[in-house]
Amino acid sequence: MASITTAAPQHTDAPQGGDYRVPLAVVTMLFFMWGFLTCLNDILIPHLKGVFDLNYTQTMLIQFTFFGAYFIMSVPSGSIIAKLGYQKGIVVGLLTAAVGALMFYPAASATSYPLFLSALFVLASGITLLQVAANPYVAVLGKPETASSRLNLTQAFNSLGTTIAPYFGGVLILSSVAGLTPQQEAEMVQMPYVGLAVALAVLAVVIWRSKLPVIASVEDHHAKAGKLTDALKYRHLVLGAVGIFVYVGAEVSIGSFLVNFLGQADVAGLPEATAAGFVSYYWGGAMIGRFVGSAMLQKVNPGKLLGIFALVASALVFATVGLTGQAAMWTILAVGLFNSIMFPTIFTLGIDGLGKLTSQGSSILIMAIVGGAIIPVGQGALADTIGIQTAFILPAVCYLYIAYYGFIGSRHA
């Protein structure tokens, strides 16, 4: 596997006194935007399921395509960033995502599911480039001991995007489909995604005109970069990659099935547009938890807090499998609160102590986001065979592994 080097940043002057608040604020905008775009898939899933009359397994190809791009494009993204630097790489990522959003227009006009999947792949490829650049960059924009706290804070704004997206999608995509033909239903996504393409292009201009600082340690990583195979020698990184795989898979699986699950007669019996609003509670819980978790991680050991949150999340999902009515609805929605700190905490624990191999470790962890492609398809297959509610057993088991990683697996060998 080819090595991935970190970027050569464009500017030679870091902020005076190590004050990284302005560049951190600029990069945080990226977290909001890719959170919004990612969570909008939760609205596309029930919408396109109806348009193309798909079963659950077929519908989960949306997440398979989207998150599969993380695995396929992570290594090329690292190479792009190495050649162009953080700032130009981020701009390229935003413009690539904008092209993917624009591709929804012809996909809807042709009423073609393969074209929708192609648009999602291009969109996700741009987001992959942003992720490969932004996560490690935030981790080094300040003191190493507060990296988990800092990444949780930026991820809180990612969750702000995921909280707003279901409401946005419910109003603009799901609320007015009654009586429409499949062609007209497909076209409901056109203007929302054209608007998103414009927003991505504007953000690209903002990033282009911003001055992002050089972080000495990152620049040193670029000069002395090793191979991915060297990073794989670190046990806590490898176990962390598995943690990212199952975490993203579990979080995405739950979010992907919420609209259909809340529509079940023995759960809440909600219409799709109403259920989409409740999806915001799931992602909003993650946002609140990340703001709170950012403060808690200043004082609490990250591994222990991760383990505790994962155990609670697993218990809530297992409870959802056995409950009915409002109880089942609220236990699954509450999982979002405990999802909150997982990705940024696993990420910072995974790259901790890697030194010059930090960028390689980061790329491995970003590749592991492919869990969001694999696990939802597995849950879709379970839903088609044993029922949508019982299928939640799969993410429940995923959280048990994350608890293991927090308490034991994250320790350095």
From the number of C-beta atoms within 10 Å of its C-beta (0-12, 13-18, 19+), residue 169 rates as buried
Q: What is the Rg, in whole angstroms, of the alpha carbon atoms belonging to the chain?
A: 20
The amino acid sitting at 156 is A
Find the DSSP H helices in 40-85. Answer: 41-52, 56-59, 61-84
pLDDT exceeds cutoff 50 at 282:
yes
Domain boundaries, the chain: 16-409
Rounded CA gap, 413 and 405, in Å? 13
State whether residue 354 is helix, strand or coil.
Answer: coil
pLDDT in tens, 115-145: 999 999 999 999 999 887 787 777 667 777 6
pLDDT in tens, 83-101: 887 788 889 999 999 999 9
Tokens 């259920």, located at residue: 275
More confident residue, 146 or 407: 407
Task: Name the CATH code of domain 16-409 (choices 3.30.465.10, 1.10.760.10, 1.10.3720.10, 1.20.1250.20).
Answer: 1.20.1250.20
pLDDT in tens, 168-218: 888 888 776 667 888 888 899 999 999 999 999 999 998 888 877 655 445
Rounded CA gap, 410 and 349, in Å? 6
pLDDT at position 189 is 92
Tokens 């090329």, located at residue: 76
Of the candidates 28, 87, 86, 80, the one whose C-alpha atom is nearest the C-alpha of residue 207 is: 87
What single DSSP character describes residue 55?
Answer: -
pLDDT at position 354 is 87
Sign of CA dihedral 109, 114, 115, 120: positive
Q: With beta carbons less than 8 A apart as the criterion, state whether 230 and 211 touch.
A: no
Tokens 């464009």, located at residue: 10
